[in-house]
Structure 1
Amino acid sequence: MAGDGLITIGGLARACGLTASALRFYDDCGLLVPVRVDEATGYRYYSEAQVECGVMIRRLRGIGVSLEVVSEILNGDAARAGRLLDEHVAELAQRAREAAAVARVIKEEIGAGVVLSAAVLAAAIEQVRSAAALDREIPVLAGVLVESDADSVTLTATDRYRLSTRATVPVRPSGVAWSMVVDAGELGGIGSWLRGLDEVIVRAPDEGLVLTGGDSERRCGTIDEAFPDYRAMLAGLGAVRTRVVVGRDALLAVLEGGAAPVVFAVDQSGLLATCDRQLRPGSPGSLGSPGSFGSPYSPGSPGYTDPLARLHIPATVTGPGIELAFSPTTLRPALVSAIGPEIMLDIAAADAPVVVRSATDGELTTLVMPTAIPNSKEYGA
């Protein structure tokens, strides 16, 4: 303390929580000027009333108020000071929102986040997830392999009898490659959430798959086992001998309502499907339809009923004829997940996986394993 009730610069610094150098700076810019400066020594002396002003300056500067606005607040009336503070707080809030948005982007980039169309991801999950095993005899087959690289995000599932894989193009790739096997059951519950979003950020931290969209996120657990090398399986497929382009709905109609194998005789006229049950009433070419292959009454044999249902399905066939059989429980899900009115079947042999492609969505590929052709006695040959 100095005489005459004055305070030295050090005393004022301690009283208001500022440093002596800060007080010198505020003196130089005219914000907090000492009441007296000793001409001989240059010492600055302040009044006790200036302690409150020093505290106010410290608090305003602590929340980022500029020197110019601090001066206006100190020298203006209470109403103007209030307006200036409100404006400053609003500016801080806006800057905080902008900073949070930038931080989210940076965190996404650091966390290998990849941005996808939410609708595309929802469709890919629905198409691929049905190929995962329903039981957990082999746990990894109850999952979906999710892979991200510089160009795409690919989903793949297989239950050993069917394999589906779908590649999607990111809205913004992450530049970091990663993969994990996600529990198919957990993926099944997020479709409706995804359809309510425009875009979704997909990340793969250690604890599982994280999907973020809007103001919410979903987390899916993983299966810590090696997924089968499906790329080697695809690369090892035999050469295509017969290609069929056929209507999706016509094939589905044949597969409804039963689990027994359906035999398809393929030739240049199309497909002749044979099964041991009645087809859906009214189906084109079904039992009882004029001109059908499986009419219940053969000419010249009144009352004769054929125990088999046969249906001729028009198709465009390239390559030699072939006969093969499918279990409806295996083939039907592959057709249901496809998009568009036409399906392309690439056939190498009657005992080799058949590649099922959607003529509308070339990014979806499904392999379906044929089953053994029932013996001739069972199918009336």
Structure 2
Amino acid sequence: MAGDELITIGALARACGLTASALRFYDDCGLLVPVRVDGATGYRYYREAQVDRGVMIRRLRGIGVPLEAVAEILAGDGVRAERLLDAHVAELAERAREAAVVTRMIKEEIRAGAVLSAAVLAAAIEQVRSAAALDREIPVLAGVLVESSADSVTLTATDRYRLSTRAMVPVRPSGAAWSAVVDATDLDGIGSWLRGLDEVTVRSADGVLVLTGGGTERRCGVVDEAYPDYRAMLAGLAPVRTRVVVERDVLLAVLEDGGAAPIVFFADESGLFVSRNGPERIAATVTGPGTELAFSPTTLRPALVSAIGPEIMLDIAAADAPVVVRSANDGDLTALVMPTAMTNSKEYSA
């Protein structure tokens, strides 16, 4: 008789669009039980007439009907089945409405952006901006990375020879984490506008960075490229061997008087010596072994100018490794400066 022929679990799976593992699951649940199970092999056999039931189960599960409701719907009571289906659709509609409300709230929070002290943001832009590349050989390096998280907004820039990063605590954080690489030239001159405000809202939207405050708005273009993993770069720095704490203005004066030629530094327990018209000692606190290295003034000077506070700290790993420049009284701003090759070495003495 048609419909009485036995078929394998694989044949049933193909006929009703289910997997064999799903059919075994529905067997264990009692929803679609084989008519015979081979005692020796464990193979399950079904009747062809069970294909329609398998298709119905697949369709019901496809719209998320719970197993218990599937069993009741398949029990044969048409009125009860319709009520269960209507209840399920009503529940789906309610969940969709709730999801729409939550989605709208999240979008509003994302659009709201992070609220920052405008003066703090202006200072951070000036401190970090100078580390961005001047040329556009690598376009993303001519930008400033802006990252917003639950507890901070961070600006980062690097031209491969310098790196500067500054974290700020927002007055109100953004509703969601986001990042954007802002074209550095769009940040030029924005400091004067920011200093006329108390607070500014920063958000990323529609391919631009939007700054809003005082009823006015500034839009900065973004670079659609992945930014280098500067955190991995910082984490991979060699251990600090020598640490120098020195007055920033004194060191800046050396760079101003030394011209454009590389300046050689030597640091040991007696202080810091520089090659400016002959060796000259600068008062400094030095910990660790003596070390000698050289910097290009055009590379080192921006890091010193942007430093916070009267003293700066130089963390030195080696003469050919990036030097970390930090404010001695504030680790909030961190800069990396690459030393230059030394063309000559000098003898230093107190």
- Tell me, in whole angstroms, the C-alpha distance in 2 between the residues paired with 1:374 and 1:256: 20
1:237 aligns with 2:237: yes
1:210-249 aligned within 5 A: 210-249=210-249
Q: Give the whole-Å Cα distance in 1 for the aligned partners of 2:114 and 2:264.
A: 44
Q: Please give the root-mean-square deviation of Cα atoms over the aligned residues, in Å.
A: 1.7
Q: 1:135 offset after TM fit, Å?
A: 1.0
Partner of 1:333: 302
- In 2, the alpha carbon distance for the partners of 1:187 and 1:215 equals 19
| 4+ aligned runs moved over 3 Å, structure 1 | 105-108
Q: For the Cα contact (< 8 Å) 2:110–2:176, is it kept in 1?
A: no
Q: In structure 2, what is the equivalent of residue 137 of structure 1?
A: 137
Partner in structure 2 of residue 260 of structure 1: 261
1:345/1:356 contact within 8 Å kept:
yes
Q: Distance in 2 between matches of 1:117 and 1:106?
A: 23
C-alpha deviation, 1:319, in angstroms: 0.5
Instruction: Indicate if the aligned counterparts of 1:338 and 1:361 stay in contact, CA closer than 8 A.
Output: no
Percent same amino acid at aligned positions? 80
Matched residues in 1 for 2:237 and 2:347: separation? 33
Secondary structure in structure 2 of the residue aligned to 1:204: strand
Please state how far the C-alpha of 1:250 moved relative to its aligned partner: 1.0
Deviations 1:330-365 (A, max 9, x none): 001100001211000111111100000012332100
Deviation at 1:201, TM superposition (A): 0.6
Deviations 1:83-135 (A, max 9, x none): xxxxxxxxxxxxxxxxxxxxxx9985241511011011001000000000111
The residue identity in structure 2 corresponding to 1:329 is T
CA distance in 2, matches of 1:148, 1:380: 48
Aligned to 1:344: 313
The aligned amino acid for 1:143 is G
Equivalence for 2:146: 146
The 3-state SS of whatever aligns with 2:331 is: coil
Give me the whole-angstrom Cα distance separating, in 1, the residues matched to 2:240 and 2:267: 14
Pair 1:362 & 2:331 matched: yes
Using the alignment, how far apart are the partners of 1:254 and 1:231 within structure 2?
31
Query: How far off its partner does 1:162 sit?
Result: 0.4
Alpha-carbon distance in structure 2 between the residues aligned to 1:113 and 1:266: 45
Determine the C-alpha separation between the residues in 2 that align with 1:110 and 1:358: 33
Change (3 A) 1:360 1:269: same
Offset of residue 214 of structure 1: 1.1
Residues 112 and 204, structure 1, Cα contact 8 Å, conserved in 2: no
Secondary structure at the aligned position of 1:179 is classed as: strand
Q: Aligned AA for 2:311?
A: E
Equivalent residue pairs, number? 243
Instruction: Give the residue type in structure 1 aligned to 2:250.
Output: A
1:108/1:203 contact within 8 Å kept: no
User: Which structure is larger by alpha-carbon Rg, 1 or 2?
Assistant: 1
The 1:110–1:331 alpha-carbon spacing in structure 2 relative to 1, beyond 3 Å, is closer
Gaps of 5+ in 1: 1-104, 276-307
User: CA offsets per residue over residues 291-349 of structure 1, 9 Å max, x none?
Assistant: xxxxxxxxxxxxxxxxx333210100111000000000000110000121100011111
SS of 1:249's equivalent in the other structure is helix
Of residues 283, 287, 293 in structure 2, which corresponds to 1:314? Answer: 283
Q: Distance in 2 between matches of 1:311 and 1:158?
A: 31
1:372 aligns with 2:341: yes
CA contact (8 A) 2:131 2:162 kept: yes
